[in-house]
Amino acid sequence: HHETAAAEGVLPAAASASPEAAAYSDGVRTRLTGLHSGLNQTFEAVLSEAMAREVVHGLYVARTEPVKVDDALRLSVATTANTANGGGGAGGRNERFVVKTFPSVLPVVDLDPRLLLHTYRNAVSNACKYGKSGGVVTTEIIQVADETLTIRVINEPGPGHEALRRLQDADVIFAKGTR
């Protein structure tokens, strides 16, 4: 990890230090790694907010490139889950954030990866906020036609969902700018 490498350049090697110095170095290294992670999260949040403003005001200029959508979304949920678990998550299958593809192999498509990930993270955030607390969030990526992918982010209904369903004018709930 690059944060560990940065800390290694500042701190003495634990093997050549006294036990007290090694413990101190380990503590500083842990704090530096946490600081690095926190700064990265803050930077990502600022970039996302800036991009959202540009999109809303019609100023965002898409920068398309070939993207393997399922790989990008799997990496995004793996990063999210790792961050949510305090950075200590192991690689491999994620039990809480599942990505399914139909068909199993999807084509590479030309799109803006930043906009895709921003939109996707927002959908996952909404599924976590408004769905079942701690529920499994499933993403389905479906190739509908040769040039169309549909992405659905699904969580079990959360509290108050049935009351929303009973409202007569559901269009009001999902109107732009409505919470």
Q: What is the pTM of this model?
A: 0.67
Pairwise CA distance, residues 109 & 76, whole Å: 17
Task: Please tell me the predicted confidence (pLDDT) of residue 101.
Answer: 93
Task: Please tell me the predicted confidence (pLDDT) of residue 117.
Answer: 92
- pLDDT below 70 — which residues of the chain? 1-17, 80-93, 168, 170, 173-174, 176-179
Task: Please tell me the predicted confidence (pLDDT) of residue 137.
Answer: 93
Task: Please tell me the predicted confidence (pLDDT) of residue 115.
Answer: 92
The residue to which tokens 């491999």 are assigned? 92
Element (H, E) at 147: none
